[in-house]
Amino acid sequence: MFDFGGSYMRDFMNEINLFGNDSKDFAKSFFCPTEYEICHHKEKINEINNQISTAPTIDGFEVNIKNLNLSFLVDSEQTRL
């Protein structure tokens, strides 16, 4: 997500408005995806799964995530207009 001075896209986007063929295409791809879309989604899921490993511990579990960028958590001063 993009940082907009403490506000995120989820704060701005509450709904999606589609018109004409866009709404039909969205519904069709959601309920009846093409073989290409299914393969593409499976590839992305496999990429994510290959980067995440979990292991049980005494009090829960431990998760390791490869290439995890947490630089956005660094406390920095922001200039706001």
Residue 14 is predicted with a pLDDT of 67
pLDDT digits (tens, 9 = 90+) for 42-64: 999 999 899 999 999 999 999 99
Q: Give yes or no for residue 36 having a pLDDT over 90.
A: yes
What SS3 class is residue 18? coil
pLDDT score, position 2:
47
Nearest-angstrom CA–CA distance, 24 and 11: 26
Q: What pLDDT, on the 0 to 100 scale, is given for residue 1?
A: 44
Identify the band that residue 13 occupies on the pLDDT scale cut at 50, 70 and 90: low
Distance of CA 46 to the CA centre of its chain: 14
In the predicted structure, residue 8 carries a pLDDT above the cut 70: no
On average, the pLDDT of the chain sits at 79
